[in-house]
């Protein structure tokens, strides 16, 4: 029951059903029941249960996407969903086993290492098998601005560690009693207060929004139904809508207008209809950043999910090919082995991955753009800013997810990137949520779901970089090394000594 409770609390930590407060105690029940497990297998089962409940609730919207757009039956869609949930649940399960081993070998005090072990498991979710780091624990605090500012120093994984530290301290209190845990609790309170004070001072200073070159930007939300996007009969109708919305943005003084992922229902570089877009850029004297597809014929025909920057002369100023493709969305891993999802294989485009981060030059100002799913990878977005990007953009198509929690979760994770990198972020989404976010994670403007809309607002092109941009996930990798070192000590001393907790 405690493991089940942790799963529910984790699920309730994220949009659109939850609240950030739940995250601070979400791991407490699992830690208590893990420390008192009688065997590593029992700890594994309890961690697995937490993970299954957590992820089944958080990404409940996946079967709908597979059934409606992937061509799978309801039964197969749910089977694939629970395979993914089962895989993701392995990370909390391994977290529970590692925590149990440390507590059994070193004593109850090692429950305090749980934040480092949890961050190690989240590193695994980022990097193992191309990763699926959807809604890491630290994302729960994105809207709690004084807490979220910590991400500018140690990234979202550092925020995960902070949030997990409260559950670990409370678990220690439960295990050893108030008298022995008094110092630890006082230290945890002091840490939280220090982080809140840092966050308050960072937001109040406002220095990240005062410096930099001003730029008026616009995010266009075309609101094209997923079933209409690739209908050949609607190509010009769709294009007309985007051109009309772009004219509205230009009337309001926008110099950079951002269209969503795959906004053009044709490959921009090779289709004659692209001349209408180039003509608009010339007529209005604007830069257009648009999601499209791109084709190359170097050694073989390759398809890319791409972003193209068109300059005020109507010329292509740069092209970015999406680096991190969505498994089962843009390609099917091990498709030869997955015969039972053959309809999905047939419906998924065989896209190729781009080579690396490419900054697009708006005049002499570098801009970074992440396509859809890429925005949830902290290191990938950091690569744009390390490469000189002074403004972050992201284009996406969340029409697949309807009015589920997914668009809200995706927007939340994009917001954290602005804090980490100290950059304004412009997000254009086909059906929403589009928005503009400042370097403190404050949402300057955003759209509602499934509206035709265009956001026009002022941002700054910023030069300074945050500590996180300089050093990346140094703290997270230190947590990983510490966890591995402690487990190595357990292994070398053959040491699971029962009864220490």
Peptide bond into 433 cis (omega under 30): yes
Cross-sheet strand order for the sheet of 453-461: 316-321, 302-310, 287-296, 256-258, 213-221, 453-461
Catalytic residue status for 322: yes
Catalytic residue status for 372: yes
CA distances from 181 to 115, 171, 187 (A): 17, 10, 10
Catalytic residue among 322, 330, 374, 479: 322
Spatial separation of the C-alpha atoms in residues 266 and 360, rounded to whole Å: 21
Tell me the torsion sign for CA atoms 104, 110, 112, 118: negative
CA distances from 240 to 213, 262, 280 (A): 32, 15, 11
Catalytic residue among 103, 195, 372, 479: 372
**What is the pairing mode between strands 256-258 and 287-296?**
parallel
Tell me the torsion sign for CA atoms 476, 477, 482, 487: positive
The number of helices, as runs of H, and strands, as runs of E, in the chain is 17, 12
Alpha carbons within 13 angstroms on the beta-carbon side of residue 169 total 18
Tell me if 137 sits within 8 A of 23, measured CB to CB. yes
Catalytic residue status for 261: yes
Question: What region, left, alpha or beta, does residue 107 occupy, with left being phi > 0 and alpha being psi -120 to 50 degrees?
Answer: left
Spatial separation of the C-alpha atoms in residues 193 and 195, rounded to whole Å: 5
Residue 114, classed as helix, strand or coil, is helix
Catalytic residue among 122, 135, 261, 374: 261
DSSP element (H, E) containing 317: strand 316-321
CA angle 20, 21, 23 (to 5 degrees): 75
201: its two tokens: 């001072």
* Residues with a known catalytic role: 261, 322, 372
């Amino acid at each position: 029951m405690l493991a089940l409770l942790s799963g529910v609390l984790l699920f309730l930590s994220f949009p659109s059903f939850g609240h950030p407060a739940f995250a601070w105690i979400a791991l407490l029940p699992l830690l208590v029941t893990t420390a008192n497990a009688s065997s590593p297998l029992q700890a594994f089962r309890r961690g697995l249960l937490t993970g299954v409940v957590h992820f089944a609730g958080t990404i409940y919207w996946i079967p709908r996407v597979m059934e409606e757009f992937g061509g799978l039956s309801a039964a197969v869609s749910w089977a694939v969903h629970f395979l993914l949930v089962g895989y993701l649940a392995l990370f909390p399960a391994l977290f529970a086993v590692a925590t149990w081993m440390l507590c059994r070998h070193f004593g109850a005090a090692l429950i305090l290492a749980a934040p480092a072990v949890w961050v190690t498991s989240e590193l695994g979710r980022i990097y193992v098998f191309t990763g699926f780091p959807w809604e890491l624990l630290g994302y729960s605090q994105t809207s709690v601005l004084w807490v979220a500012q910590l991400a500018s120093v140690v990234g979202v994984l550092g925020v995960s560690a902070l949030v997990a530290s409260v559950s670990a301290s409370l678990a220690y209190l439960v295990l050893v009693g108030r008298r022995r845990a008094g110092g630890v609790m006082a230290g945890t309170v002091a840490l939280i207060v220090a982080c809140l004070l840092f966050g308050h001072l960072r937001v109040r200073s406002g220095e990240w929004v005062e410096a930099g070159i001003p730029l008026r930007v616009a995010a266009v939300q075309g609101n094209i139904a997923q079933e209409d996007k690739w209908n050949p009969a609607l190509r010009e109708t769709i294009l007309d809508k985007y051109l009309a919305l772009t004219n509205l943005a230009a009337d309001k003084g926008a110099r950079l207008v951002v269209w969503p992922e795959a906004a053009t229902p044709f490959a921009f570089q090779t289709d004659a209809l692209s001349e209408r877009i180039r003509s608009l850029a010339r007529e209005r004297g604007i830069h257009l950043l648009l999601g499209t597809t791109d084709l190359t014929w170097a050694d073989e025909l390759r398809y890319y999910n791409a972003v193209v920057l068109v300059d005020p002369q109507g010329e292509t100023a740069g092209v970015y090919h999406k680096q991190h493709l969505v498994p089962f969305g843009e390609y099917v891993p091990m498709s030869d082995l997955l015969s039972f999802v053959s309809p999905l294989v047939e419906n998924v485009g065989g896209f190729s991955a781009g080579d690396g981060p490419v900054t697009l030059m708006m005049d002499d100002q570098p801009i970074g753009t992440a396509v859809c799913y890429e925005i949830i990878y902290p290191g990938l977005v950091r690569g744009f800013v390390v490469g000189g990007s002074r403004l972050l953009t992201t284009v996406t198509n969340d029409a697949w997810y309807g009015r589920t929690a997914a668009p809200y979760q995706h927007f939340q994770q994009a917001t954290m990137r602005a804090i980490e990198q100290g950059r304004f972020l412009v997000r254009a989404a086909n059906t929403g949520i589009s928005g503009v976010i400042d370097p403190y994670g404050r949402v300057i403007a955003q759209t509602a779901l499934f509206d035709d809309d265009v956001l026009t607002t002022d941002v700054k092109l910023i030069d300074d970089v945050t500590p996180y941009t300089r050093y990346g996930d140094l703290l997270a990798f230190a947590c990983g090394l510490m966890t591995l070192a402690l487990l190595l000590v357990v292994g070398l001393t053959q040491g699971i000594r029962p009864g220490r907790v």
